[in-house]
Amino acid sequence: MRILCSGGSGFIGSHTVELLVASGHEVMVVDNFSTGRLENLADVRAEIRVCDINDLRLLDMCFQEFKPDAVLHLAAQSAISTAVLNPKKDLRVNGVGTLNMVEMALKYDVRRFVFSSTSAVYEPKSTWLGVYDESQRCRPASPYGISKLAAEQYIRSTFDNHLILRYANIYGPRQYSIGENQVVARAFAHFMYGDEFKVTGHGNQKRDMVYVKDIAYANYMALMSNKTGTFNASSGKSVSVNTILSAIAENYEIPTYQWEHTNQEDPRGDVYMNASKIRREIGWKTYVSLRQGITQTALWWNGMK
């Protein structure tokens, strides 16, 4: 299969492109390298084009040249803090950029469109039985969640053969902190380089954590599947931020490390995501435990010295 992947040099994208190429697929990466890194694809035999998804002329040339069978749209503005400070930029990338990708996919008769969305489209602290479920009404509280939900709606209304993945919290090698919402990357940067990091509130708020290689496989299965619709890409198990940080501290043999905390509590509270639909209909589930994933992530950070 010929797959065009936007944002393919980034954290999630590079792991996914590696898997796709290793599985025998032809891949073109379209990326403006605003956050992605060329070294992430150093050992991958993929075509790489420097292109912003809001540059329709260049984007059209990429589609025309490659003639993809499927599109994996990962390019995004993913920092919640950036979205709050500059919502127009956030909407331009996540909303208009997605419309551009759909427009090109329709123009060049692409058969399959897979999109990476987020749990931020759900309404914080207002879940059905305490769990984010794909069938419930979405009322995002942040500009980031609003722009991603708008992108979902554009895709649903224009491209029939689509699949939308609402990611849980993803972590792993090649993740650098963008804004203030990547707790694992920020905690490792604190240990490695002394970067400032404080736990939001008490740290007992829970998150559904998924290792990046598991998400890469979810992207792969979404592309290969004949299913359509919206799916939570999550483990279905949530752990506290304190538990996550303890696992990181144990890798540095400081299990009782005293993390600093802010006085402001986390407005999102606990996040629980129902993972039953994707297991049932796509056959995907997570395989890497939090402890295993943190260990692999630590090895990568240690190699960055």
CATH number of the domain bearing residue 74: 3.40.50.720
Above 70 in pLDDT, residue 133? Answer: yes
Helix, strand and coil content of the chain, in percent to the nearest 5, comes to 40, 20, 40
Residue 131 lies in a domain: yes
Q: What is the mean pLDDT of residues 226-236?
A: 97
- Taking only the tens place, the pLDDT of each residue in 257-273 is 888 999 888 877 888 99
Residue 284 lies in a domain: no
Residue 79 lies in a domain: yes
Using alpha carbons, select from 278, 276, 298 the residue that is nearest to residue 215: 278
Above 90 in pLDDT, residue 128? Answer: no
Residue 94 lies in a domain: yes
pLDDT at 305: 55
pLDDT at 78: 83
Above 90 in pLDDT, residue 255? Answer: no
In the block, tokens 């963008």 appear at 178
Residue 122 lies in a domain: yes
Percent with pLDDT over 90 in the chain: 79
Residues paired with 30 in a beta bridge: 6, 49
Residue 59 lies in a domain: yes
> Which residues have a catalytic role annotated?
144
Burial class (CB in 10 A: 0-12, 13-18, 19+), 1: middle
Residue 80 lies in a domain: yes
Phi, psi of 228 (to 5 degrees): -125, 165
Above 70 in pLDDT, residue 291? Answer: yes
- DSSP state for residue 132 in the 8-state scheme: B
User: How many C-beta atoms lie closer than 10 Å to residue 157's C-beta?
Assistant: 9
Residues paired with 10 in a beta bridge: none
Q: What is the mean pLDDT of residues 201-206?
A: 92
Residue 34 lies in a domain: yes
Cα torsion 127, 131, 133, 138: sign = positive
Mean pLDDT of the chain: 93
Above 80 in pLDDT, residue 304? Answer: no
Domains in the chain: how many in total?
1
Alpha carbon distance 278, 210 (integer Å)? 14
In the block, tokens 């224009």 appear at 158
Contact between 127 and 136 (Cβ < 8 Å): yes
Q: pTM of the full predicted structure?
A: 0.95
pLDDT at 303: 85
Q: What is the mean pLDDT of residues 151-160?
A: 97
**Among 64-73, 75-84, 163-172, 233-242, where is mean pLDDT lowest?**
75-84
Residue 157's domain comprises 2-171+212-234
